[in-house]
Structure 1
Amino acid sequence: MKKVLTIAGSDSSGGAGIQADIKTITVHKMYAMSAITALTAQNTRGVFGIMEATPEFVENQLDCIFTDIFPDAVKIGMVSNSKIIEAIVKKLHQYNAKNIVIDPVMVSTSGCKLISDEAQDALINLLLPIGTVITPNIPESQVLVGLK
């Protein structure tokens, strides 16, 4: 059974983030693992709060996963600050992670900005270069190529 690690925010409504990733991974008969970058209070009407994990805690989660159940692929979603991005990139390099899918989540479906300007720069300069596949939607693509 293939093992997939999702690194993303937690969506309390279950419609996005690690909850949606875990459902998708499981329905495709793979083993899902997660490292949480932030907790969000959200539902179909909007995002009402975001509590970020510390970079150290994200690193701790990644160490636990990579030293025990090494993933065959890594999917990265919402990462809202540059220090967490730096921590993720450091650990993915340290463990020589392969098959990295980056979904550059910058704005929620309800229109709430989920990433700081500093994190956007780190996403573009540090995270995207290590991706095997990048899956932006049209608005995210426009931001990434400088059209917005």
Structure 2
Amino acid sequence: MTSNILSIAGSDPSGGAGIQADLKTFAARGTYGMSVLTALTAQNTRGVFGVHFVPAAFVADQLRAVLDDIQVDAIKIGMIGNAEIAEAIADILADRPHIPIVLDPVMVAKGGAPLLEADAVEAVRTRLLPLAALITPNLPEAAALLRRSEATDRTEMAVQADALRRMGPQAVLVKGGHLESAESPDVLIDSNGTTWFESPRLHTRNTHGTGCTLSSAIAAEMGKGSGIAEAVRAAKHYLATAIERSHELQAGSGHGPVHHFHEQWQPANDCR
């Protein structure tokens, strides 16, 4: 039976990040995707030019409509926007602890535009983190959640991942893409201990939506029944290939999207 995966996140009209990236990822991973919109953005591969938050009550209406009708096997939470939306989501999901939640604490866009209001950080910290099976912050997001300086090496990455897990989530994946090194390691801390995922740094501008895509792929794998470490490993392989094949797309003049459907599409010059 096909697993049903729900994304709660903002919209990206250029298609590379947010809800659009999540739905593409769910489909590419063989699952049925659904969405609850928290925000509309005016953005493209060059930046974010405007954000309009959906009223919290209507976010709640969307979420209840899906949950009351469809079996949800996993949930990915991305851009929340403000404290009211975070509270509305937490109030509903607190009554459904059986659904695994992957929380990607989106705070800043690739180009530097803030995507989370200051008062929402505390709501994410206290209301959503304890509900999550896994959270997937990058180094700046982990530092913001912990109110400390950004990690600059692997030792501090592991320390911060452990500190975040003590705040309530079942597991924490701290992503090391911001490290100044030839490698891009990620560290997972869960009930089984510490696991490092080693990845070479890929030199490309096509990184728009990589965080959204990774967390969505993890949610899809968990919804299909994989354990957390297994889901992370499969999702990282999928994302790495999506980045490597991103040159097959021609979308935008800034940070281009990854190729979500690299396994399903033939390159144009291979079409018969």
Compute the TM-score of the two structures, normalised by the length of structure 2.
0.53
CA separation in 1, counterparts of 2:8 and 2:98?
A: 13
Q: Tell me the alpha carbon deviations over residues 90-137 of structure 1, each in whole angstroms, 9 at most, x when there is no partner.
A: 111234451100000000001001111110110111111110000011
Deviation at 1:141, TM superposition (A): 1.1
Q: Is contact 1:73–1:97 with CA below 8 Å preserved after alignment?
A: no
Q: Which runs of 4+ in 1 moved over 4 A?
A: none
Count of aligned pairs between the two proteins: 148
Q: Matched residue of 2:116: which SS?
A: coil
Structural mapping, 1:35-74, within 5 Å? 35-74=36-75
Structure 1 residues without counterparts, runs of 5 or longer: none
State the identity %.
Answer: 49
Q: Which residue does 1:14 correspond to in 2?
A: 15
Q: Which residue does 2:110 correspond to in 1?
A: 109
Q: Is contact 1:72–1:98 with CA below 8 Å preserved after alignment?
A: yes
Larger Rg: 2
Q: Is contact 2:90–2:128 with CA below 8 Å preserved after alignment?
A: yes
Q: Which residue does 1:77 correspond to in 2?
A: 78
CA separation in 1, counterparts of 2:118 and 2:16?
A: 25
CA separation in 2, counterparts of 1:96 and 1:66?
A: 13
CA separation in 2, counterparts of 1:10 and 1:134?
A: 20
Structure 2 residues without counterparts, runs of 5 or longer: 150-272
Q: Which amino acid aligns with 2:17?
A: A
- Higher relative contact order, chain-length normalized (CA < 8 Å, sep 6+): 1
Q: Which amino acid aligns with 1:56?
A: A
Q: Matched residue of 2:94: which SS?
A: helix
Compute the TM-score of the two structures, normalised by the length of structure 1.
0.96
Q: Tell me the alpha carbon deviations over residues 42-97 of structure 1, each in whole angstroms, 9 at most, x when there is no partner.
A: 01111011111011111110111001112100000000100000000011123445
CA separation in 1, counterparts of 2:90 and 2:4?
A: 19
Give the structure with the larger strand fraction.
Answer: 1
Q: Which amino acid aligns with 2:55?
A: T
Q: Is contact 1:9–1:36 with CA below 8 Å preserved after alignment?
A: yes
CA separation in 2, counterparts of 1:109 and 1:115?
A: 13
Q: Which amino acid aligns with 1:125?
A: T
